[in-house]
Structure 1
């Protein structure tokens, strides 16, 4: 989400994201886009990246609050760049929210541990990768015992690219923390990609482009067993 509008995230170059054009919604206002996603399937989770807040600008808190009011049954995974207790506590004021802590804005592993301890079950970690590089504290990969129960494998260059999921990082993260739920994010095109992500170790997936473009349909989702799919709104 950027400037109150849902944008098409593509390749991780946030400066050039443009308003979303979707087969599911007339326009790119957040409420209409979420309604469109829910017309495909009654997703239980919606991932929201507040790109303005992540970049240090004014947040889209009003739009997020509106989504929370309109869709009280949706669990919201929200990444707004929060990396300390104050920011996370404010974000978790939404009843069904979980705070996504992006590694690219995280200051230290200790900070992650403290936020997770203060808010059990409501903090997620997004491991943000650009190619083979982890963005953020490098010792995150050496301390999987410090990770929360759910970790997103976020391959930024693959977001919106239709290049397929990064099976390498999904598998590596799962091997480091076998008991952790890994959510695949970036590049998923169709049900074959969902199956491949599950085989690599993902127990969930964040999908946006494939839904908006119509390459992943309701029937496809029904055929995929054992991999919950959360819709994504950037």
Structure 2
């Protein structure tokens, strides 16, 4: 099947941290040459779409524009805008996360509140402290709605598999004894957001990624075809043991006929 839209993971699929995956550039060049639409559907909430696009373009020579970057930060911002039924400026949030997440959330007009916010949003934070966890825990215990950006326990980079947002969120889940409402992959919510935001047919789209538990499971949950590439987290053994197999499998993306 020739797909009209590609939803493409970043870490482990387009690059590994600062390390290039040369076949990824070939794949994107092939999409451009074929005139096929593509978006980068990442669980990374630390950077803005502009920063993600700049990294792809400048450091990996992969053509990308900010409007092609879709993140849990953007999907979370869209989610909270529909949460309350009135003006979002009447409500408040506390956020653990980097600038990419905070800018998306607070650009909605929601106010910062560290004590008794309406919603607590937790994502990856490179400078997370006990005090931040304390504020989040107490706010959720007071009744704040608890959102987790994504459940990734680890991120693949040039050093190996480092802690991901899910590791940070799980600490708050443990301290509050509450499960977060997750937005990013593998939840279908982020693909539903992408479909609405970019107006494409999910039946003619394919989710591309290296991680069965996030990328591939996200496509399965959303009823979108999937393409697993063996360049990151999941192994052949993982795929062999998976109850639902990816629609397609390749060793590297230059093998894929767009």
Shorter chain as denominator, the TM-score bin is 0.3 to 0.5
User: TM-score, normalised on structure 1?
Assistant: 0.36
